[in-house]
Structure 1
Amino acid sequence: MNHTLLASLAAVTLGATALLGTAPAYASHAVEIEHEVSAVMGPEQEYQRGLTVNGVAPTLRSVTVDEETILAYCIEYWVRAAQPGHQAAVTSWDGFTGDNHFKTSPQVREAVAWILHNSYPALAIDELAARTASTSLTEAEAIAATQAAIWFYTDDFVSDGVLTVEPAPDDAASLTATAAPNVQNVFDYLTGDQNTGLTEQEVQASVTLHDASGAEVSVPGPVLEAKIDDDDHILGPVAVTSSSENVSLHLETTNPAVSPEDVTLLDAQGQIIDATEPVTVPELWVLVPADTASGGVQLAAESTEYGYTGRLIIPEPAPDRRFQTIVVADQISNIATTELALHWEKPELTEPPLEEPVEEEISDNAEERPADEEMTSAAGAVIANPTQEQQTSQAVSTTVTLESAEHTPAPNQTLADTIETEETVQAHQASTEELAETGAHQTRNILVALGTIAVGGVLIVMNRLRRRWA
């Protein structure tokens, strides 16, 4: 659709007052108007005139808004039009200062909005002719039919719907053989069952972003599957409502340490949304990795409509009268924006407490025993800090030595005494072996026992030799 400012509003020139008679009386008090945007009634040479319908010749007037020229249809039949150059204001429907059906009936407002959206100049003449089965439809015929349809709703103009079509003023050639049927066809289309009405919001761009998250909202499975870490943040859903199918998104982070690339937008199916392209989803989700610094995102949405804004242009009233209101059908870009902020907090990682070293308990006996403690054997030998093994070995060795020395045969010892001595040695040997079994090193104990036996044998041999020599 052409983005140039080409709109149409309708204004009726009551220059045909001569045909209708004296102009009606007007209210003598001025009505205060809330000014939103300034406008100026355009020059007469920019007007477009329609055929005469039921004695009235409508004129499509021009209006200058923000240095751009648009066209206007009238929404008041009995009110005189303002002159070129007259100052005006652009307001919403609620700013209407008239008192006809457009003021009192929401259905009439919506029907008028639908007409503006589905007739000339919003539609090209060829498109309107195709919709209405008209033949060689002209701009003058379309203007006449459209203005008559608007007045039909606002002021009960031609309530029976039967139109009488005559040439435009000072242009007898404008009435062709197909003119009357064409005007009737377009009028019937605009006032027929197809006119289902449009609200003011529907003819203007609108978009909203709503944080629809709550305790009762569950995250879709595909969105959960997009998480890499169980602690990843899932924000949303964000409901997107727009008057247009495509919505442009813009994402910014509130923390400079967080890049927009760290934040991923997903639809309900877990598919990544490219914020650089217009989106058509009714809701979206925000995925933030768990290790992302605390912060937030600022989402902005923009909706653009290339259709009717539904705005009214209301000329400044004179001290003794007000002028007819014209309804704006603006085809330039009508943009609506909205913003929504979402926040997250990075979880704090807690480290496990350090375990304090456990001091080993030392037994009372070990603490009380001096480091240089000495142990004296039965034979008077001194052993410093003996181990258990040393204590056992030394005890065995000392005992055997003493016992062996005590039983060394005297020179006058008899054989019986010798045998007794052998038995005593064997008894000591048995005792030594038994004691050695309890030691830490059994091999050493066996060597000690063998040594004892050898000593005993030598003593016996010496005792026998001594007796022989005696």
Structure 2
Amino acid sequence: MNGRRASARGSALLAAVSTVAVLGSVPASAQTEGRIDTTAGKSGYTAHLGGTSTETNLFALDLEGGNSIRAYCVQISVAVDPERFLHESPWDEFPDAESPFHENRDRISWVLHHGYPSVGLDALADTLTGQGTELHDGLSEKEAITGTQAAVWHFSDGHDLDRDDPGSGDDAADADVLALYDHLTGDANVGIGEQPTPALEITPATASGSAGERIGPFTVATTGEITEITGELPDGVTLTDADGAELAAEDLADGSEVYLDVPRGTGAGQAEFALSATGQLDTGRLFVSEDYTKDPAQSLIVATSEETTLDASAGADWTAAPTTPPEESTTPTSSPAPTTQPSAPETTETTSVTPQANSGDLAQTGVSVLVPILVGLALLTGGATLVVLQRRRRST
């Protein structure tokens, strides 16, 4: 198949249609489960907030599928458990019902979008100096981590950074941390709403039809960008739009409708196709520790936007088109011109002819019938005369 064909001839055969019926209805989304990698995180200074001293960290959260993201903690008094999985959860499912997180989550998201590492060190330094802040030899990574985490805790836990003694750094570092903290918690922070979870879904998961028709439509729903179409389709079967035009990955987007076009004459069978997409696991996504209600452990919030891969599949089965006689034409046709039948060969038969009187001026054919009559009359007359003469002689 060429670049615009839906069938990737060299790809491995995907799962059977029966499997798609079970799995295809589940939206494919970003890897939503991960564990903290204690060897890959980065540390800031110890921050002094609300009378407590707490280490600041930019955590590494390794997701299933290979992606690794960076995240901050949103519960200052809850311990981290690196042995436990964390699951992506909507903001509404933040496990502490009494936490200030619920009323401040938009502003926490703004901190993450405008803090480190979403914004690089040089860009942050330019922003602060543009506001009239005098930094001490720029902004270091440790200072940026400390100031960003402290701003998150300000909104998630209601703790303010100690302005007289912000952290464990020297005076210059503490001043830089405080400047970033003030920027992230100040009037410029107007909040950013929750971003959609990356997702890719094809509905329905399965469909049925018969050869000679387009089976579908299958509707694509995604928050990402379609990058690939794969599938092992029988010869002649193609992935098309409603008008029969063959589709490529770049033709598909959220809301697209696709069909499996099965030519008439194709035997009964089945086929399936899969879509791949890239999506963003956006800054501000929340990850909550499993079994939190039984044993609370630290929840994390994503500090960087990461690209992730999404996959979804669907399939169809069909029956062979029924064999039907050709339809009779309803167009009137003229009757065929009569054909001349060959004359039967002449035969000679001997038949008795009844003498008939000649009539009109018809030509005579053969001997006239009067001749034998006249001859007969002459014979009779002669015979009668002879008899009369003999009788006269006897009487004499």
TM-score by length of 2: 0.59
Contact preservation (8 Å) 2:204, 2:218: yes
Within a 5 Å distance, the mapping from 1:85-124 to structure 2 comes to 86-93=82-89, 97-101=95-99, 105=102, 108-109=104-105, 112-113=108-109, 115-124=111-120
Q: Which amino acid in structure 2 is aligned with residue 151 of structure 1?
A: W
Residues 245, 137 of structure 1: alpha-carbon distance in 2 compared, 3 angstrom cutoff: farther
- For residue 59 of structure 1, report the CA deviation from its aligned partner: 1.2
Quote the Cα distance in structure 2 between the aligned partners of 1:327 and 1:450. Answer: 132
CA RMSD of aligned residues (A): 5.1
Alignment partner of 1:265 is 2:245: no
Quote the residue 2:366 is aligned against: 451
Q: Partners in 1 of 2:121 and 2:281 — Cα distance?
A: 17
User: Quick one: which of 423, 428, 432 aligns to 2:357?
Assistant: 428
For residue 311 of structure 2, give the secondary structure of its aligned residue in structure 1.
strand
Q: Secondary structure at the match of 2:366?
A: helix
- Say whether the 8 Å CA contact 1:87–1:315 is kept in structure 2: no
Displacement of 1:60: 2.0
Tell me the equivalent position of 1:376.
Answer: none
Matched with 1:358 is none
Residue 329 and residue 236 in structure 1: after superposition, are their counterparts in 2 closer, same or farther (change >3 A)? Answer: farther
Structure showing the higher strand proportion among its residues: 2
Structure 1 residue 316: Cα displacement: 9.3
Taking CA–CA contacts closer than 8 Å with sequence separation of 6 or more, which of the two structures ends up with the larger relative contact order?
2
Which of 248, 255, 273 is the equivalent residue of 1:299?
273
Q: Which letter maps to 2:252? A: V
2:61–2:71 CA contact under 8 A, matched in 1: no
C-alpha contact 1:120 1:143 (8 A) present in aligned 2? yes
Distance 2:200 2:189 in 1: 30
Q: Output one character per residue of 1:128-187: Cα deviation in whole Å (capped at 9) or x when no partner.
A: 5677866755544543443244234322344xxx994866413333256x7655442333
Identify the residue that residue 334 of structure 2 maps to in structure 1.
Answer: none
**Which of the numbers 34, 57, 60 marks the counterpart of 2:57?**
60
Question: Who is 2:171 aligned against?
Answer: 172
Letter of the 1:450 counterpart = T
Rate the CA distance shift 1:263–1:127 in 2: closer, same or farther, 3 A: farther
Q: For the residues of structure 2 that align with 1:121 and 1:45, how far apart are their CA atoms?
A: 13
Structure 2 Cα separation of the partners of residues 50 and 189 of structure 1: 25
Residues of 2 paired with 1:120 and 1:338: CA distance?
Answer: 34
1:75 matches 2:74: yes
1:68 Cα deviation after fit: 8.0
Q: Does 1:240 align with 2:216?
A: no
1:282 pairs, out of 234, 246, 255, with 255
Residues 155 and 45 of structure 1: CA distance in aligned 2, closer, same or farther (over 3 Å): closer
Shift of 1:233: 0.9
The within-5 A match list for 1:331-410 is 333-351=307-325, 394-395=350-351, 397-400=352-355
Residue equivalent to 2:335: none
- Is residue 303–residue 335 contact of structure 1 (8 Å, CA) maintained in 2? yes
Distance (Å, rounded) in 2 between the aligned partners of 1:147 and 1:303:
32
What is the TM-score with the length of structure 1 in the denominator?
0.51
Unpaired runs of 5+ residues, structure 1, are 1-35, 215-230, 353-386, 401-426, 434-445
2:389 aligns with none
Would the alpha carbon gap of residues 316 and 283 (structure 1) be closer, same or farther in structure 2, given more than 3 Å must change?
A: closer
Letter in structure 1 aligned against 2:218: V
Report % sequence identity: 20
| Residue among 146, 149, 152 paired with 1:147 | 149
Contact kept in structure 1, 2:144 and 2:177, CA below 8 Å:
no
Q: CA deviation at 1:262?
A: 1.9
- 1:461 and 1:324, CA in 2 relative to 1: closer, same or farther beyond 3 A? closer
Cα pair 1:50 1:143 within 8 Å, conserved: no
Q: Which residue, 175, 179, 197 being the options, matches 2:193?
A: 197
Contact 2:206–2:314 at 8 Å: present in 1 too?
Answer: no
Please tell me the residue identity of whatever aligns with 1:154: S
Q: Which has the larger radius of gyration?
A: 1
Tell me, in whole angstroms, the C-alpha distance in 1 between the residues paired with 2:68 and 2:258: 43
Are residues 1:250 and 2:230 paired?
yes
- Normalized per residue, which structure has more helix? 1
* Aligned-partner Cα distance in 2 for 1:242–1:45: 32
Distance 2:366 2:83 in 1: 139
Distance (whole Å) between structure 2 residues aligned to residue 167 and residue 145 of structure 1: 9
The corresponding residue for 1:17 is: none
**Cross-structure match for 2:185:** 187
Given that residues 225 and 279 in structure 2 are in contact (C-alpha distance below 8 angstroms), is that contact kept between their aligned partners in structure 1?
no
Amino acid across the alignment from 1:156? G
**Is this contact kept in 1: 2:206–2:315, CA < 8 A?**
no
Structure 1 residues 188-226: Cα deviation after superposition (integer angstroms, max 9, x where no partner) = 37731xx23115xx1x32111123999xxxxxxxxxxxx
Matched residue pairs, number?
A: 317
Distance (whole Å) between structure 1 residues aligned to residue 78 and residue 239 of structure 2:
58
| C-alpha distance in 2 between matches for 1:189 and 1:280 | 38
SS at match of 1:185: helix
Q: For the residues of structure 2 that align with 1:346 and 1:41, how far apart are their CA atoms?
A: 55
**1:29 counterpart residue number:** none
8 Å Cα contact 2:47/2:150 also seen in 1 = no
Does the 8 A contact of 2:116 with 2:303 survive in 1?
A: no
The structural deviation recorded for 1:247 is 5.1
Say if 1:233 and 1:344, in contact at 8 Å, map to a contact too: no
Give the deviation of 1:242 after TM superposition.
Answer: 0.9
Distance 1:298 1:59, change over 3 A: same
Task: For 1:68 and 1:237, locate their aligned partners in 2 and report how far apart those are by CA, in whole Å.
Answer: 33
Q: How does 1:30-69 map to 2 (within 5 A)?
A: 39-40=35-36, 42-43=38-39, 46-49=42-45, 59-63=56-60, 65=62
